[in-house]
Amino acid sequence: MPRNRIFYGWIIVLAGHLLITLDGMVLYSFGIFLPYLNEAFGLSTAVGSSFFSLRCVCMAFSFVFAGRLIDTHDARYLTFFGGLIGAFGFLLSAYAETTWELYLTYSVMVGIGDGFLYILPVTIISRWFIKKRALAIGIATAGVPVSGLVVNPLTTWLIESFGYERALVYLSIIFTAILCSAFLVKSRPEDMGLRPYGENSEDAKDTGAPDWSAKEAFSHSSFWLMYAAFFFGFNTFLIIIVNLFNFSVGAGITPLVAAGAPAFIGVGSIIGRIFFSGVVTNMLRDVRILFVCYLFQAASIILILSVVEVWSLYLFGFLFGFFYSGWVPMFPTILGKFYGLKSLGSIFGVFGTGFSLAAISGPLISGFLFDMTQSYQNSLIVAMAASFITALLVLLIRTPAKKTEKFGT
């Protein structure tokens, strides 16, 4: 391939970034729509929040299903038509007249569609890159925090200007338009007569693991250690996201100023993904990066447990987002190195359910603690402890050695 041509894998990274912004759209828009849905359908906050919980359950099943399909089917059509289910979910939610209809459209359909929009791009990018794989995945998954910076003000403006029903319609149109980037995705570089980026580099020597089947990967302890770290890491993240605003307001910060902290988490996350996956991976082994990120993510929580001022709130937001974003792209990178790429879709599909389970348990734990104590501080302490424990847990991860069968002669 001529050197002055852009490697097509970077086009897929761009497409993956756009597709993953849709995952962010689903995640961040829910909190904006929730009070309007509660008012329109006469729901309590607890019942309204159950839409999110059911969406996460459906997304977990979608992760597994999409992961299995991507190992054998065309990524373009699988991503587009899978994501289209989510777009129709937004659209039909605008016309829902009963609670069960809203569960079907806003929870089940959007949850199923969302499952296709994260697992598939990450799996495909892993096939296209050996060298700079962590950087490529980091750029793509930065679509989530980028979406967070845009979706909240956009959704608020749409609702205030047109009402929540029309806002859902307009978001479904935007969703479908961005979803068309799926047609830029190619399942494997061999489909275009290309080889993975950096196939003959030093990185390739470190990723020469034989291909494992999904069943073989699931039988190895390192998979479940990483799964536990992924699960506990997202418990910490979601407890912080759910409680940070109310914790700040309760400490005397005005609502407008308190709303800036989540934005700083987004800014820190964007910078952190590029820094850790593009720079730090050249200096530290992947598992060591996990340890550093979890350790300092936990330490950042100490800041707001000690001092609740505007400067400490914003500094915490940036630091927490910075270190949180460092471990997210590491997991698919490590899975590819440990277990090969042949069954990575199936493996990562099951692995991704850790997020869905955390999205259920994290908010439930924090809600229970608040009801018990009428304080958000205990939730932050639990989040900090979970992150410190996870930092120690990742030190137990070991590179697996695949067993080979010996036949007698």
Kindly list the domain boundaries of the chain, sorted by start residue: 1-187, 211-398
Q: Cβ distance 65 to 85 under 8 Å?
A: no
197: which strand partners? Answer: 129
Half-sphere exposure of 311 (CA within 13 A, CB side): 0
CATH of segment(s) 1-187: 1.20.1250.20
For helices 310-327 and 221-250, the axis angle rounded to 10 degrees is 160
Superfamily in which the 211-398 domain is placed by CATH: MFS general substrate transporter like domains (1.20.1250.20)
Phi, psi of 33 (to 5 degrees): -75, -30
Nearest to 389 by CA among 306, 301, 294, 322: 294
**Tokens linked to 162:** 């047109």
Cα–Cα distance, 36 to 114 (Å, whole number) = 22
Q: Cβ distance 188 to 317 under 8 Å?
A: no
H-helix or E-strand containing 389?
helix 377-393
Cα–Cα distance, 75 to 187 (Å, whole number) = 5
H-helix or E-strand containing 23?
helix 8-41
Q: What is the pLDDT along the chain (409 residues), one digit of tens a residue?
A: 445 578 999 999 999 999 999 988 888 888 778 888 888 998 876 677 788 888 888 988 888 888 888 888 888 899 999 999 999 999 999 999 999 999 999 999 999 999 888 888 888 998 899 888 888 988 998 888 888 788 878 888 898 899 999 999 999 999 999 999 999 999 889 888 888 888 765 555 555 567 888 888 898 899 999 999 999 999 999 888 877 877 887 888 887 787 778 788 888 988 988 888 878 877 888 889 999 999 999 999 999 888 888 899 899 999 999 999 889 888 988 988 898 888 888 898 899 889 888 888 887 788 778 778 888 888 899 999 999 999 999 999 988 876 654 444 3
Nearest to 298 by CA among 211, 189, 378, 380: 380
User: Given this chain, do its domains 1-187 and 211-398 carry the same CATH topology?
Assistant: yes
The whole model's pTM is what?
A: 0.79
Torsion sign over Cα 135, 136, 139, 144 = negative
For helices 75-93 and 164-179, the axis angle rounded to 10 degrees is 170
Cα–Cα distance, 343 to 215 (Å, whole number) = 10
Residues 6 or more apart whose Cβ sits within 8 Å of residue 315: 264, 303
